[in-house]
Structure 1
Amino acid sequence: MTTALLVVAVGVIVLAGMWLIASDFSGTDRAKLQIEALKYGVGFFAAGGAVAALLLSVRRQRLAEQTHDLARNSQELAERNHQLARNAQFHTESDAAKRRVTDLYAKAVEQLGHSSTAVRLGGLYALERVAQENPEQRQTVVNVLCALLRMSAAGPRAALASHAMVGTSDVEANDGQYAAELDGESRQNLEIRLTAQQILVDHLRAFSGVSLDGMDLGAHLWQDVDLHLRGAVLVDFDFSYCSVRRATFSGATFIGETSFAGTKFADNALFTCADFRECTDFSSAVFSGEVDFREATFADFALFEEAAFETDVNLSRAKFSGRADFGRAEFGRWALFPGVTFTESAVFSRAKFGGDTNFNSADFMQDAWFVGTRFETDSRFHGTKFGAKATFEESIFVQSSQFYDVAFGGQLSFLMSHLFESVRFHNTMFGGRVVFGVTRANSITFSNCRVMLRSGQEDLWPSGWEVSAEGQVGALGKTKNPVNSTT
């Protein structure tokens, strides 16, 4: 506005000056100069008005922008205040929910120590609900259930086994000694244990994607859970087709039939010194981490058919009192069986060993079946004992194999086998019929080997080897005529 007034003032001064100059003239010139003075004066007045209008417009625009900014800032402030209010409400609700979960958890855990079985069962189901509705609490709840199962079992374990097999209502009908040992408190404790086991199984069994009457069973799956059951007593434990991350069953006792069929172990699975009292099923189980069965005992049939061991597996000094079946199992890396005892027959037919295999000092008391077995890398049988038949028919040895200080008490057969690398027998005793009708053999060597001579003996040795009689025990050596020899 000041600029407009300044332009008008300049116009007035110019008009006055020109008007005074025109007054010095006369006649026509004077009139012309006065007209020019008026033109300049009017022009300056018009310019001043234009400048004033422009400045007014600019001022209005600036005022409008300031008003808009003020409104926007007010709106942002209102939204920020609203968000703060929502955050405060959320945290308030979250804190209240956490307090509620904590209270429920604490109350449920407290119920587990109650003297009443009904209250303890209610505590278990309350914990299950807490874990189901709060995924972040699932591992904590699982840890509580595992701790419950790790607690010493009330009553003799034989009584527990009897109870599990015949059911609570039929205990009295079982053997008198077991029924006498299984008192009311033991029955109640067993019921608590079975319930805790079932809760774990119900939420770790992988039914993802399967629906029943419109209900997605996968929603009940607790994923990425670790089990810590070291030294636990588990009764009729059916963990088939479950999914667990890391599992620790070291020193655990499994009473009754046990099943891990189709179970997936995403991380290490530890069964060191585990005691399996009856039939055990690991068929089609998948072990993605390291597996440890060192010094585990299997009192009855142990089934590992089609199990997949993706990394190392260690069964050192394990004892199989019943039949052991590893048929079609796959071993991705090291397979360690040193010092293993197989009291009954052991089956590894169609199994695949992808890494080094070690059966050193293993004791096969009955038949050992390696029909169609594939050894991708080195295999070692040092100090191994085969008490009955040892059948390696149709097996494939891709790399070297060593049978050092081995005792074959029964028939040994390599019929139709493929030996791509060297196979060495050193200080080995052959006590039964021997058949080396191999389809392909690059190098088979025998050093300091002995053969138990028998009447009507019909052995088939590799080309270039024969047995020389030395009393009841013959020595195996090279023959002058390199043809298959029959003794």
Structure 2
Amino acid sequence: MTRRTLKRLGFTAALILLVIGFGLLIWKGPWWLDGDHLRSKNLEPADGVVITGVRTALVALGAGAIAAMGLYYSHQNHRHTEKLFKHTQDKDIEQAALAREGQVTDRYTAAIKLLASERLHERLGGIYSLERIARDSSRDHPTVTEVLAAFIRNPPVPEKAAGRDDVNAALRVLGRRDLSHDPRGLVLRLRGAPLSTTDGEDLKLDRADLSKARLCDVNWSRPELNEAVLRDADLTNAHLNGARLRGADLTGACLAQADLTPDTRTLSVKKWKLTSSTDLTDAILHGSDLSGADLSGIIGLTKGQLLNSVITRRTRLPRELETDVALQQHVEDCEQGWRPFAE
């Protein structure tokens, strides 16, 4: 016999004994409980009243016990049903999560294949599909970010045209990503990336590694480049209106003819005009070529930063630095061919 069968037999035997015991209690109970006042034979009406009262009380107690047992078992069944429901619900949630994960994996695989396509519209489709995956799944957000950064660094299909719509699209997707899903310490690895002629607004590129990146003729409005690494980057004729470059490293960067003027678009609040200016506070400009760069209106630009950079007569300095004697002499030295010592 199994343990379950033995348990059932034991329960049945206990129930039979309980019924027999309760029957005996109803039959003999009046004499067991009040035998000193009841006759065994030749019962009088008064004896009948007592016997009936005792038996009625016992039946009521029995009915109450049965009702209590019924409530107990109903409660136990309800709890068991709740557990089954919760278990089923958890299973359903788990299955739904697995199904969703499988769908994300399928979408991710399809998007990766599209990135390697020779057709531009398919590569664009793969890029925007990855953006949707990153939005839908915070778990896959870092992976998508790394994939798009790798795509920008090494586009799979070379193009002879001056601009690349696919690289520009990938840059914009990275620039508008949800920063709350970025893992701590995430660095966009865009070293040596071919980003010339790309454009975008409010690109979120803080702490990005853009060293030796090709950024000629870019048109980035109000980019966030705080603490970004732009060592030896080529920013010739770059338009970085309203850029944020606090703590950025521009050592050896070429900013010839670069435009770093404040953003021309203004926000009108009653009678106030708020403009977005480029911020170079604590930026490292050692060895940067600022020949012809427009630095007027720059926030945080210091004399010390400029003395370590190449500036010429075509370089537009902030008004408060235009008449500085040391800077004027430094301009003449640069016109004569002065270049900072390489680190």
TM-score calculated relative to the size of structure 1: 0.45
Q: Secondary structure at the match of 1:247?
A: coil
Please report how far the alpha carbon of residue 17 of structure 1 lies from its aligned counterpart in structure 2 after TM superposition: 7.8
Distance 1:325 1:69, change over 3 A: same
Aligned twin of 1:290: 282
Distance 1:240 1:317, change over 3 A: same
Within the candidate set 139, 146, 152, 1:145 is matched to 152
Q: Is the 8 A contact 2:172 2:203 kept in 1?
A: no
> How do 1:378-417 and structure 2 match up within 5 A?
none
Aligned twin of 1:38: 48
Q: Is the 8 A contact 1:15 1:41 kept in 2?
A: no
Aligned twin of 1:325: 316
Aligned twin of 2:218: 237
Aligned twin of 1:62: 72
Q: Secondary structure at the match of 1:239?
A: strand
Give the whole-Å Cα distance in 1 for the aligned partners of 2:77 and 2:39: 48
> How do 1:56-455 and structure 2 match up within 5 A?
56-105=66-115, 107=116, 125=124, 128-130=127-129, 132-135=131-134, 136=141, 137-138=144-145, 140-146=147-153, 189=160, 191=161, 195=165, 198-199=168-169, 223-224=204-205, 227-255=208-236, 257-265=237-245, 268-277=247-256, 279-284=257-262, 285-287=277-279, 290-300=282-292, 302-309=293-300, 314-327=305-318, 347=322, 363-364=329-330
Amino acid at match of 1:18: L
Q: Matched residue pairs, number?
A: 267
Distance 1:297 1:304, change over 3 A: same
Give the whole-Å Cα distance in 2 for the aligned partners of 1:197 and 1:44: 95
Distance 1:92 1:78, change over 3 A: same
Please report how far the alpha carbon of residue 221 of structure 1 lies from its aligned counterpart in structure 2 after TM superposition: 6.3
Gaps of 5+ in 1: 24-32, 112-118, 149-184, 207-218, 330-345, 350-358, 367-384, 388-487
Aligned twin of 1:18: 38
Gaps of 5+ in 2: 1-18, 135-140, 177-199, 263-276, 336-343
Q: Is the 8 A contact 1:146 1:227 kept in 2?
A: no
Is the helix fraction higher in 1 or 2? Answer: 2
Computing the radius of gyration from Cα coordinates, the structure with the larger value is 1
Distance 1:17 1:305, change over 3 A: same
Following superposition, which runs of at least 4 residues in structure 1 exceed 6 angstroms of deviation? 310-313, 359-362
Distance 1:145 1:50, change over 3 A: closer
Amino acid at match of 1:104: L
Give the whole-Å Cα distance in 2 for the aligned partners of 1:224 and 1:68: 56
Q: Secondary structure at the match of 1:243?
A: coil
Q: Is the 8 A contact 1:143 1:227 kept in 2?
A: no
Give the whole-Å Cα distance in 2 for the aligned partners of 1:312 and 1:60: 90
Give the whole-Å Cα distance in 1 for the aligned partners of 2:162 and 2:114: 19
Q: Is the 8 A contact 1:292 1:315 kept in 2?
A: no
1:6 and 2:30 equivalent?
no
Is the strand fraction higher in 1 or 2? Answer: 1
Distance 1:203 1:97, change over 3 A: closer
Please report how far the alpha carbon of residue 294 of structure 1 lies from its aligned counterpart in structure 2 after TM superposition: 0.8
Give the whole-Å Cα distance in 1 for the aligned partners of 2:201 and 2:290: 32
Please report how far the alpha carbon of residue 80 of structure 1 lies from its aligned counterpart in structure 2 after TM superposition: 2.4
Within the candidate set 46, 49, 63, 1:53 is matched to 63
Q: Is the 8 A contact 1:303 1:325 kept in 2?
A: yes
Range with bigger deviation, 318-327 or 135-144: 135-144
Q: Secondary structure at the match of 1:307?
A: coil
Please report how far the alpha carbon of residue 260 of structure 1 lies from its aligned counterpart in structure 2 after TM superposition: 1.5
Q: Is the 8 A contact 2:202 2:222 kept in 1?
A: no
Please report how far the alpha carbon of residue 362 of structure 1 lies from its aligned counterpart in structure 2 after TM superposition: 7.4
The percent identity for this pair of structures is 11
Distance 1:91 1:361, change over 3 A: closer
Q: Is the 8 A contact 1:205 1:240 kept in 2?
A: no
Give the whole-Å Cα distance in 1 for the aligned partners of 2:326 and 2:323: 16
